[in-house]
Amino acid sequence: MNDNGLNLLENLDYSVVQQCMHCGMCLPACPTYDATLLERSSPRGRIAMMRAIADGDLQASKVFAEEMYFCLGCLACQTACPAGVDYATLFENARAEVERQGLLNSPVRDFVRRWTLGWLFAKRSRLHRLGRSLRFFQRSGLQTLVRKSGLLRLMPWGLGALEPLTPEINERFTDQLYRQDLKKKNPSAAKYQVALLAGCIQDIAFAEVNADTICALQHNHCEVLLPEAQECCGSLHGHNGELDTAKRLARINIDAFNAEDLDAVIVNSGGCGSHIKHYEHLLADDAEYAERAKEWSRKVRDIHEFLVEIELRTPECKLPAQQVTYHESCHLKHGQKVSDAPREVLRAVPGLQLIELTEADWCCGSAGIYNITQPEMSMQLLDRKMSHVRATGAKIVATGNPGCAIQIAHGGQRADVPVQVVHPVSLLAAAYRAEKQGES
């Protein structure tokens, strides 16, 4: 990867590094700048450091490394930037360089990274196994016991903080649901053939969102496939400096899906979607996969985007009036520029009244594993989000990313705002099901 002895930032296409003309227009969009008013915690400052490192004017240091992990990777700066700076690429390479040089290495961090990125999230079967144990832990009463004991506070590196954010694990994961119930509901004369990326967290903790996605698609003339050989999308790896693993996972998924034969690859998690739409760039230098990656990227659709594109059918049913507000996942809004489509999906659901959320696209602090690595900033952002949620008066928050869903549900408890957090597509699926009672 750096066989020429240069660091990753030096190796990056200079036009990417040089694109920022330091106008500062992105600063007000950046949550970490807003919180600190420090130039180094702003997009302009971070890019300037990267450029200085690429130019050899600055050493990649621990301060730089910490700054790159203080960055949420929310990409609000990329939306705000009129000059077309590709912050996502800069960010991924900067973090990868931090890892390459081991700037933040410590025994605990190394252990946790190896265990999560290198092992757990590198294979879906492992995640499934862990998921089952976790479910046992959650249901057995052990969880309450552990919570009370304060044992978690003794755990290293903020891992204790992870526990209340651990979602409830489902009884059946997506593939079981699919094999047992969903597959047979594929319409016989389908207009579109699509395949679903099940995701990792979505798959074991929000399997019903995957089921709802499949249901909504089936009600819109789609035959839905669930390729068995699929793996985690690799976004966690890509965003946390493990570019090689990210590339390996991308190749596996491309092989598993055969996007060439599909009308669309459907993804319902903002974070995964943002990442897999970029396989094209990730594998651009891969002689064998570059072309297929391009085709893959052309076919990937966020579920809302796809439903709107095929002009989703408005469910014909009467449902009680309810107020809902919509939180924009960063990677849906900034990473994929999908912003109107989820709202359109919500507006299509009978009885739902959409109340706009102030700062709907301001990061909630979930940001992948940010709520574990930077708990203080993360909770600050969450409190800000919850105060806006409270102001809407809505009892339902819809959002298209599992990380945000976990974070906001936690925020509801933390700030005592009683809300139910759902995926927009779940509300839609419920409406389709209500058309004919008994059918699912």
Partner 1 sequence: MDNLALIKGLASFLREDQLLTSDEDLSVYAFDGTAMLHNRPACVVLPERGEEVAQILALCNKKAVPVVARGSGTGLAGGAVPSEGGVVLCLVRLNKIIELDAANLVMVCEPGVLTQKVADEALAAGLFYPPDPGSIKISTIGGNVANNSGGLRGLKYGVTRDYVMGLEVVLADGQILETGNKCVKDVAGFALKDLFIGSEGMLGVITKVILKLVPAPASKKTLLGLYDDMTQAAETVSAIIENKIIPCTLEFLDRTTIECVESYAKIGLPTDCEAVLLMEVDGHPAEVDEQAAQIEKIARQGGAREVRLAATVEEGLRLASARRTAFSALARLAPTVVLEDVTVPRSELARMVAYVQGVGERHQVKVGTFGHMGDGNLHPTFLCDERNKEEMARVEKAMEEVFSFAVELGGTITGEHGVGLAKKSFLPKQLGPVGMDVLKRVKIAFDPVGILNPGNMFD
Tell me the closest approach of the beta carbon of residue 44 to ligand SF4, in angstroms.
4
Could you give the string, one character per residue 50-89, with x where binding to ligand SF4 holds by CB under 6 A and - elsewhere? ---------------------xxxxxxx--xx-x-x-x--
Phi, psi for 397 (deg, rounded to 5): -110, 125
In whole angstroms, give the CA distance from residue 15 to residue 69.
Answer: 24
Task: Determine the 3-state secondary structure of 399 from DSSP.
Answer: strand
Tell me the closest approach of the beta carbon of residue 100 to ligand SF4, in angstroms.
20
Strand partners, 152: none
Tell me the closest approach of the beta carbon of residue 87 to ligand SF4, in angstroms.
6
User: Quick check: 283 and 293 in contact, CB under 8 A?
Assistant: yes
In whole angstroms, give the CA distance from residue 267 to residue 259.
Answer: 13
Residue 24 tokens, joined: 């500062």
Residue 36 or 176 having the CB closest to ligand SF4: 36
Tell me the closest approach of the beta carbon of residue 113 to ligand SF4, in angstroms.
20
In whole angstroms, give the CA distance from residue 213 to residue 219.
Answer: 10
In whole angstroms, give the CA distance from residue 285 to residue 225.
Answer: 29
Residue 61 or 143 having the CB closest to partner 1: 61
Angle, vertex CA 288, rays to CA 241 and CA 303, nearest 5? 65
The site partner of 15 among ligand FAD, partner 1, ligand SF4, none (C-beta below 5 to 8 Å per kind) is partner 1
Touching ligand FAD, residues 295-324 (CB under 6 A): none
Quick check: 404 binds ligand SF4 (CB under 6 A)? Answer: no
Residue 165 tokens, joined: 């954010």
Query: 10 Å Cβ neighbour count for 294?
Result: 16
Contacts with 16 (C-beta within 8 Å, 6 or more apart), sequence order: 86, 89, 90
Residue 71 or 259 having the CB closest to ligand SF4: 71
- What dihedral do alpha carbons 130, 399, 199, 277 form, nearest 10°? -150
The site partner of 5 among ligand FAD, partner 1, ligand SF4, none (C-beta below 5 to 8 Å per kind) is none
The site partner of 366 among partner 1, ligand FAD, ligand SF4, none (C-beta below 5 to 8 Å per kind) is none
Residue 22 or 298 having the CB closest to partner 1: 22
Touching ligand FAD, residues 13-72 (CB under 6 A): 23-25
User: Quick check: 118 and 232 in contact, CB under 8 A?
Assistant: no
Residue 39 or 66 having the CB closest to ligand FAD: 39
The site partner of 71 among partner 1, ligand SF4, ligand FAD, none (C-beta below 5 to 8 Å per kind) is ligand SF4
Task: Determine the 3-state secondary structure of 18 from DSSP.
Answer: helix
Tell me the closest approach of the beta carbon of residue 25 to ligand FAD, in angstroms.
6
Strand partners, 225: 195
Residue found under tokens 């796809």: 306
Phi, psi for 226 (deg, rounded to 5): -130, 85
> Footprint of partner 1 on this chain (CB under 8 A)?
15, 18-19, 21-25, 27-28, 37-40, 42, 44-45, 48-49, 52, 57-59, 61, 63-64, 67, 81-84
Residue 43 or 400 having the CB closest to ligand SF4: 43
User: Quick check: 104 and 64 in contact, CB under 8 A?
Assistant: no
The site partner of 87 among ligand FAD, partner 1, ligand SF4, none (C-beta below 5 to 8 Å per kind) is ligand SF4
Tell me the closest approach of the beta carbon of residue 406 to ligand SF4, in angstroms.
19
User: Quick check: 40 and 49 in contact, CB under 8 A?
Assistant: yes
The site partner of 431 among ligand FAD, ligand SF4, partner 1, none (C-beta below 5 to 8 Å per kind) is none
Task: Determine the 3-state secondary structure of 214 from DSSP.
Answer: helix
Q: Among residues 287, 200, 288, which one has the least CA distance to residue 237? A: 200
Could you give the string, one character per residue 30-49, with x where binding to ligand SF4 holds by CB under 6 A and - elsewhere? xxx----------xx-xx--
The site partner of 310 among ligand FAD, ligand SF4, partner 1, none (C-beta below 5 to 8 Å per kind) is none
Instruction: Point out which residues bind ligand FAD (CB under 6 A).
Output: 23-25
Instruction: Point out which residues bind ligand SF4 (CB under 6 A).
Output: 20-26, 29-32, 43-44, 46-47, 71-77, 80-81, 83, 85, 87
